[in-house]
């Protein structure tokens, strides 16, 4: 089975080359662990949110879908940056409602350095944030590999 993937990153990381996301996709780590190892994943869309409050969220999923995207991942940078994206739940809800497509929060595993600081700050103590980070939490060894 082949699944076509689109990734939307946080604009503050707009110069990111995507290495961690692509590695996680290839290795089925982080949020990509939901896919079977023998399933083919094809990246057919990669863009940023357009900057706060996320203007590109309104239009980029449509272009991705025209290119065959079946699942959109909102990149891990949206949950690990400081502050984490306040609009991420709105982004997911909008994309699902407007475009009727599956949206996954997260791409690569959370790097340990971000895990440590957000744990100290209590950033992710709410049920909502626990749900958001769960697909990318991994274990300490994997988080260290993504530092």
**Total domain count, the chain:** 1
Q: What is the span of the domain harbouring residue 132?
A: 2-145
The tens place of each residue's pLDDT in the chain, 147 residues long, gives 899 999 999 999 999 999 999 999 999 999 999 999 999 999 999 999 999 999 999 999 999 999 999 999 999 999 999 999 999 999 999 999 999 999 999 999 999 999 999 999 999 999 999 999 999 999 999 999 999
| CATH code (residue 116) | 3.40.50
Find the helix or strand (DSSP H, E) in which 77 lies.
helix 77-80
The rounded distance, in Å, linking the Cα atoms of 32 and 21 is 9
Cα–Cα nearest to 10, from 107, 134, 144: 107
Q: Which residues contact 6 (CB under 8 A, 6 or more apart)?
A: 43, 44, 45, 46, 60, 61, 64, 69, 71, 72, 73
State how beta strands 102-105 and 71-74 pair: parallel
Q: What is the pLDDT of residue 1?
A: 81
* CB of 39 closer than 8 Å to CB of 103: no
Q: Which of 93, 84, 46, 91 is nearest to 67 (CA)?
A: 46
Confidence (pTM): 0.95
């Amino acid at each position: 089975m082949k699944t076509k993937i689109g990734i939307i990153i946080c604009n503050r990381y707009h110069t990111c080359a995507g290495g961690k996301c692509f590695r996680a996709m290839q290795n089925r780590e982080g949020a990509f662990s939901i896919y079977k190892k023998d399933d083919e994943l094809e990246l057919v869309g990669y863009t940023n949110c357009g900057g706060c409050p996320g203007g590109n969220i309104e239009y980029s999923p449509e272009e991705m879908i025209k290119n065959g995207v079946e699942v959109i991942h909102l990149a891990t940078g949206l949950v690990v940056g400081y502050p984490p994206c306040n609009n991420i739940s709105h982004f997911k809800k909008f994309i699902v409602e407007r475009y009727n497509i599956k949206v996954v929060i997260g791409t690569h595993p959370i790097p340990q350095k971000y895990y440590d600081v957000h744990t100290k700050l209590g950033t992710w103590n709410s049920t909502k944030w626990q749900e958001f980070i769960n697909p990318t939490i991994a274990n300490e060894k994997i988080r260290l590999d993504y530092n």
